[in-house]
Amino acid sequence: MTVQFPAEFTFGAATASYQIEGAVAEDGRRPSIWDTYSHTPGRVARGENGDVACDHYHRFGEDVALMKQLGLDSYRFSLAWPRIKPDDGPVNAAGLAFYDKLVDELLAAGIEPAATLYHWDLPQTLEDRGGWRERDTAERFAEYAAVAAGHLGDRVKKWITLNEPFCSSILGYADGVHAPGAQEGEGALKAAHHLMLAHGLATQQVRSAVPDAQVGITLNLASVQQVSDSPADAEAARRNLLIGNLIFTDPVLAGTYPDHAREVWAPITDFSFIQDGDLATSHQPLDFLGVNFYFPSRPKAVAHNEPDPAKRVASDLGVESVVHDGEYLTEMGWPVDAGAFTDLLTWLQDAYGDALPPIYITENGIACPDVVREDGSVDDQDRIRYVGDHLKAVKAAMDKGVDIRGYYLWSLMDNFEWARGYQPRFGLVHVDYDTLKRTPKASFDWYRNVSATHEVP
């Protein structure tokens, strides 16, 4: 069944600085936690890193030309904090100059720039002082936000403070599978709180520098599906909803923390790092909420990894995600369930009502086993099917009253997929990592037609 989106609906694509830029030691850029993490043996698959990535830093003109060919309304990219204000020293003018050129190129191509201030590349100098465990990092982030918005705000009007603070805090400081690779309990919860504080402080700075800015935050949220009626599985779903959604959505959208957060984490922290006024700061008026979605969440109760509650890390909730027999899995090992996307979006509306601002889908996409044919083409029908089904899921939520203004596909091009390295490919454009040649896939032409017609077949 074909669905039609409104004429004003935004169709875009997204990337992130460390995943595509390369040039990690050029023009004053200093190391981030991902430089350190990816160069630590055993952290990233096959020992790969983002030193070169897609070399977007030198090839951005070619990449913007591809965006124009694709017919994008908007391009979501992230600024590299270590390029702009890598330490306590002066602002790095050369780093800002790169984003000047990129933004000007986008505007000349008729593409709206949407800038994310933080997509995980914390300057290593700040991590050496405690990173997101420390309140001071939130203050430093606000300073950086003021510089970036003050410089680019005459041309960039759409700003996203943070991308996926769940990953920065829980995957980075509890699970240890993302930079900086820590496995802590209280440290991860401090990181989550200070990220929310940083979001609020940065929002204030962006609004001060750019009075006509649209400001939001991007959250990767869990579409929690209870797998059985057992009390244990019901409680597992409750804990999964807490750590996947509520410790981020409640501060941002309601200015609170869930009551049962203290109950779940009481053995590992006393929450003394939460100061008076913090939640009010986190709860800034938003112009939009960015939502990232890739797969459903089906939490099943299992034994805790650590039997002693006082020794558990924040992510040890006694939850395991269920995969059904014979279910299609992406190259990341994620199950596909577009209906869960509709459920998530309607849950947001039901949970927050009038407090929910308009939504942009800021990431959605799939890593496929892309095969390059002898003629160089990539016929990625799996991606076309996935994106088509998920766009229809978005429209189904809109038909139920959810205010959704746009969709940014992840990703414009294949790139460095964090701890998975370069093997998973999410792009509309194939990148040959030996030659850095860009080749549009079949999905590129399909998405160009969707963007042009606002119609999904």
* Residue 75 assigned to a binding site: no
CA-to-CA distance for 119 and 135, rounded, in angstroms?
19
Strand partners, 335: 329
Residue tagged 């609020």 (tokens): 200
* Residue 119 assigned to a binding site: yes
* Residue 199 assigned to a binding site: no
**Residue of 105, 134, 164, 186 marked active site:** 164
Contact at 8 Å (CB) between 249 and 320?
no
404 closest CA partner among 323, 311, 342: 342
* Residue 294 assigned to a binding site: yes
CA-to-CA distance for 188 and 180, rounded, in angstroms?
11
Contact at 8 Å (CB) between 360 and 291?
yes
* Residue 163 assigned to a binding site: yes
* Residue 352 assigned to a binding site: no
The pair of structure tokens assigned to 140 is: 């430093």
251 closest CA partner among 219, 208, 225, 287: 219
Contact at 8 Å (CB) between 200 and 284?
yes
56 closest CA partner among 84, 93, 19: 19
State yes or no: cis peptide before 208, omega within 30 of 0: no
Q: How far is CA 70 from the centre of its chain?
A: 22
Q: Check the CA dihedral 143-148-149-154 and report its sign.
A: positive
Alpha carbons within 13 angstroms on the beta-carbon side of residue 156 total 32
CA-to-CA distance for 334 and 60, rounded, in angstroms?
31
Contacts of 170 (CB under 8 A, 6+ apart): 188, 192, 243, 314, 315
**Residue of 105, 127, 186, 363 marked active site:** 363
363 classed as catalytic: yes
32 closest CA partner among 42, 21, 45, 41: 21
Q: List the catalytic residues.
A: 164, 363
The binding site comprises 19, 119, 163, 294, 410, 417-418
The binding site for substrate comprises 19, 119, 163, 294, 410, 417-418
